[in-house]
Structure 1
């Protein structure tokens, strides 16, 4: 007599395995598009030699990359929601790779602008918005952590390519390097995107930090003043962080610590290495914290942390060891905006249109990118000192922290309850 045993498979366990698989694929896609932004500094010298132009003119390329990555995000999000994440994100990784291959054969400034700036910006924007929209749907009860993890993949992905790209530039030249890595980015990201799947449902989830009981379309969301408060707050934090981080090298040079050796390494590159690490770690860390103590409470803690670190950084700017350590704390208090704000947005306005909705909010990062660097440079030029630059950045941090706890928190609770 034979006994047949049926093995039951729990659908919840299947979904749990699938969501972690989707996060892993999202991390790979994010890593494949991180180099155009974070490795740009390595490409400027050989591009200057090839094109025979001045650095400010060449830097327009980088500005175009950021502008097309952020200001087209509402359109990119809408296309992803309409045609599906897998298809559009695959197209985005292909654009990112093609931008480097096109730049490899660009022997005029305008060709470089088009390929590296426009095509690259469109590609990276599609992937970034699409992956964030994916994970906040797959992790309805851990949105802060999930958004932070994939944002960390974008922030830290270039760590894996920085040294290989530097080696390739020194040994094989600009053209070969751009073609080799461009093809690699497209292939790596394209293969990862093939495994992306839509989340099984977009039903609201009620949790500690509250979730919307209705799914707002972008047009409905844009009519809500609460959205514009979130937009203003993210723009303030983006501007504040970029005011200081964009001027890190100049700041270190002026205070005389950039080339001082600490543990056998110059202070500036050591600080930049630590900054990249903490900028990546803070995104899942504070996202995880916000899943437990609430979005606004976490915002208040993180933004005050950055304000305090900047204050100490300015006060002890002539001490090379403290300069390094406090720069890491500054980035620890800044990078979490890329997990807290998308999670808060989806909690508030629902997950069904999460990608399109976040596309509108992500434009605030573009505002910060445009204002941060030039505003800091202008203040420094006028005042001939760093105190006004840091004072404005610290002020923006404190104002945003207070807005989070005194206005955003009660307003959002009333909005969701209503």
Structure 2
């Protein structure tokens, strides 16, 4: 591959990262708007939180349809539309006064928009980087996980100075414009722009498998179950983080000159973003399943240590970052493993189906953890379940997924070579 083609795909990765950053804020700064929305609508907290649930559900459970639309039509046009919808959701939410208006704007528009962008960008970059799929998927996923760091403090200041309506209007418009402009520079790669995968890289599909065929394979459902369990276990901790920090008595303690809870939340967002390209890069070199086993076991150890030192504010703040570092990599490891296994032609739609596992985790993780806590009066069993799920999935990655993928791809022996056939030569299924 020539220098120009190589430069082009790095530009594509950068544009994908920018677009992903523009759709990060609707999820990660939602908490800043909850009380203003309550005051405006006169609704209860659970009723207002339905808008956030809609955002996540529409982003995840509609992703197969969104992926199909992206592959059916122009990728850049659909991703630009998604970025526009996400920003428009904020702009429209700045004008509403009713609960249903909030659902239709923040919930519906932002949910559909972020879903289109997320599956579209991930599906695009794994095509551009066949030999670095884990790293590429991790980079753009990090943009989604860390993008709100750039907006959290400005949004907080603008809400205080000008009110939440003006803030939604201004930032919604800014994010829409930046996202659309960056998206219009995206495109699918030409066969001549894609390098062959070196023989010492991870195993990769020699053919492209359509979604209808993929959904009939036990291998896909194994990956789906593993991602759903990791999402559920991780979100049991993530969704209730502030609650157990207060119960453990460390939320308002001072660490490194800051209150422990906001410090931990900021630190966690950073580690949750950095882990995605890091473990993706590691998996490109040592294998997907090997990396999964180590990372998922690391999360189990981190949660166990967090539980053991839960009343120490410093340990709580630092270990929570390790928990997030060992959890966020699912968003680079699973899409790259899926594309390695079922090919690139239908990568976007195929990942849309797998991404629904995150939706399962969002529905089960937070509510189930809260129910368990309320029934037993302690967060310890919740931590125990999360640790157990981590260890189960780590074992599945090593003992089940690894040999199952080898068998599916026709790979033998202890090494896991990649099939280096060029994209154009790979027959579709």
Aligned to 2:9: 19
Alpha-carbon distance in 2 for matches of 1:382, 1:186: 44
Aligned to 1:280: 273
Alpha-carbon distance in 2 for matches of 1:373, 1:198: 37
Note if 1:217 corresponds to 2:207: no
Alpha-carbon distance in 2 for matches of 1:387, 1:110: 37
Pairing 1:286-305 to 2, within 5 Å after superposition = 286-305=279-298
Alpha-carbon distance in 1 for matches of 2:215, 2:177: 37
Aligned to 2:118: 128
Aligned to 2:128: 138
1:149–1:283 CA contact under 8 A, matched in 2: yes
Shift in Å, 1:82: 1.0
Which of the numbers 288, 294, 300 marks the counterpart of 1:307? Answer: 300
1:204–1:212 CA contact under 8 A, matched in 2: no
CA offsets per residue over residues 315-370 of structure 1, 9 Å max, x none?
11011110011100000100000000000000000011100100000000000000
Which of the numbers 346, 363, 371 marks the counterpart of 1:378? Answer: 371
SS of residue matched to 2:9: helix
Aligned to 1:148: 138
2:131–2:196 CA contact under 8 A, matched in 1: no
Which of the numbers 250, 257, 261 marks the counterpart of 1:257? Answer: 250
Note if 1:79 corresponds to 2:96: no
Note if 1:97 corresponds to 2:87: yes
2:88–2:176 CA contact under 8 A, matched in 1: yes
Note if 1:45 corresponds to 2:35: yes
Shift in Å, 1:203: 8.8
Shift in Å, 1:188: 0.5
Alpha-carbon distance in 2 for matches of 1:246, 1:204: 41
- Higher mean Cα deviation, 199-208 or 390-399? 199-208
Alpha-carbon distance in 1 for matches of 2:270, 2:197: 32
CA offsets per residue over residues 214-273 of structure 1, 9 Å max, x none?
100110110111000000000000000000111111111011111011122111111111
Alpha-carbon distance in 2 for matches of 1:291, 1:341: 12
Give unmatched runs, 5+ long, in structure 1. Answer: 1-10
Note if 1:70 corresponds to 2:70: no
Give unmatched runs, 5+ long, in structure 2. Answer: 412-429
Aligned to 2:401: 408
- Higher mean Cα deviation, 176-185 or 292-301? 176-185
Alpha-carbon distance in 1 for matches of 2:268, 2:101: 33
Alpha-carbon distance in 2 for matches of 1:190, 1:305: 38
SS of residue matched to 1:59: helix
Q: How many corresponding residue pairs? A: 408
Alpha-carbon distance in 1 for matches of 2:203, 2:405: 9
Aligned to 1:4: none
Note if 1:183 corresponds to 2:173: yes
Alpha-carbon distance in 2 for matches of 1:107, 1:411: 53
Shift in Å, 1:205: 3.8
Which of the numbers 346, 349, 362 marks the counterpart of 2:355? Answer: 362
* TM norm structure 2: 0.94
Alpha-carbon distance in 1 for matches of 2:101, 2:354: 30
Shift in Å, 1:314: 0.3
* TM norm structure 1: 0.96
Aligned to 2:414: none
Aligned to 2:222: 229
Note if 1:88 corresponds to 2:81: no
1:204–1:211 CA contact under 8 A, matched in 2: no
RMSD over aligned Cα, in angstroms? 1.1
Aligned to 1:7: none
Name segments (4+ residues, structure 1) moved above 2 Å. 201-208
1:234–1:341 CA contact under 8 A, matched in 2: yes
